């Protein structure tokens, strides 16, 4: 079982000694937060050669206490917004976004499978002419533009991003026509000295700006319609 929570990301499996479960994590401090929340006395084992670098072993009582604490921790209306507000967890945000989008594709594919005629090819949508896919890199850019519009009341004129982020947009998410439409709508500035791919900044000519990492809010979604005239996700 995979669990995305306020305490961290965990994988719980039944293996090892009978009537015990392993709660595994990518980061040690996630297990530390979980133990603090449950008041469990368990040793965090380092397993650098395993798929997960850290884990604890719990019995039936410990497992029930973990699930009880996880249930009590759900005090938010939107999980991604909650993670963005937690200093010790927000670095997982882009991974959770990618997972969310991946599961959204599964949902859409299931919906198409129940409605599409069996012997006819699927129709070509306008969105497919503009984009190849709608993954984390494209969504992060749209969220940054939306944050600027929501904060300042108008759309930006410049978009600053890393070379890596630009290459992903160009090669994985947007078609040549989609990229051309973007660059005619807003000036795209590639900065090779930025290391963090989450450092996407929208600006105008008066010095106003909004940054993805600082101004994340997934509730406003209008940038794709502003640029391309239709919704991408």
Q: How far is CA 192 from CA 29, 97, 165, 198, in A?
A: 32, 24, 10, 13
Distance CA 168, CA 73 (A): 35
Domain CATH for 89: 3.30.70
Judgement on whether residues 139 and 223 belong to the same structural domain of the protein: yes
- Among 181, 154, 153, 155, which residue's Cα sits nearest to residue 169? 181
The verdict on residue 121 lying in a domain is: no
Q: What are phi and psi of 11, to 5 degrees?
A: -120, 120
End-to-end CA distance of the chain: 27
Number of domains composing the chain: 2
Q: Are 170 and 133 in contact (CB under 8 A)?
A: no
Cα angle vertex 194, ends 213, 185, to 5°?
A: 70
Q: Are 207 and 160 in contact (CB under 8 A)?
A: no
- The token duo for 73 is 């921790």
What pLDDT does residue 197 have?
52
The verdict on residue 15 lying in a domain is: yes
What pLDDT does residue 126 have?
65
The verdict on residue 115 lying in a domain is: no
The verdict on residue 98 lying in a domain is: no
Q: pLDDT tens across 62-91, in order?
A: 999 999 999 999 999 889 889 988 999 999
Judgement on whether residues 86 and 146 belong to the same structural domain of the protein: no
The verdict on residue 99 lying in a domain is: no
Distance CA 156, CA 51 (A): 43
Judgement on whether residues 88 and 149 belong to the same structural domain of the protein: no
Q: pLDDT tens across 18-50, in order?
A: 899 999 999 999 999 999 999 999 999 999 998
The verdict on residue 85 lying in a domain is: yes
Percentage of residues in the chain having pLDDT higher than 70: 87
The verdict on residue 113 lying in a domain is: no
Is the pTM here over 0.85, yes or no?
no
Judgement on whether residues 130 and 87 belong to the same structural domain of the protein: no
Q: Which domain holds residue 73?
A: 2-93
The verdict on residue 105 lying in a domain is: no
Counting Cβ atoms within 10 Å, is residue 32 exposed (0-12), middle (13-18) or buried (19+)? middle
Judgement on whether residues 22 and 78 belong to the same structural domain of the protein: yes
């Amino acid at each position: 079982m995979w669990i995305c929570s306020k305490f961290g990301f965990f994988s719980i499996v039944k293996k090892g000694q009978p009537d015990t479960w392993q709660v595994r994590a990518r980061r040690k401090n996630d297990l530390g937060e979980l133990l603090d929340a449950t008041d469990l006395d368990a040793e965090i084992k380092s397993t650098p050669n395993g798929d997960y670098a850290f884990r604890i072993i719990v019995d039936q009582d410990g497992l029930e206490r973990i699930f009880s604490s996880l249930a009590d921790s759900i005090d938010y209306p939107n999980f991604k917004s909650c993670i963005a507000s937690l200093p010790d967890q927000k670095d997982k945000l882009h991974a959770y976004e990618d997972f969310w989008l991946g599961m959204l594709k599964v949902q859409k594919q299931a919906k198409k499978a129940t409605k599409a005629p069996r012997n006819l090819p699927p129709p070509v949508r306008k969105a497919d002419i503009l984009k190849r896919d709608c993954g984390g890199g494209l969504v992060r850019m749209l969220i940054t533009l939306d944050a600027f519009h929501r904060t300042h009341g108008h759309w930006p004129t410049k978009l600053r991003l890393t070379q890596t982020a630009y290459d992903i947009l160009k090669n994985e998410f947007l078609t040549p026509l989609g990229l051309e439409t973007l660059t005619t709508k807003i000036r795209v500035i590639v900065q090779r000295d930025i290391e963090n791919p989450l450092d996407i900044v929208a600006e105008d000519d008066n010095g106003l700006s909004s940054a993805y990492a600082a101004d994340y809010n997934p509730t406003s979604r209008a940038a794709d319609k502003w640029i391309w005239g239709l919704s991408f996700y």
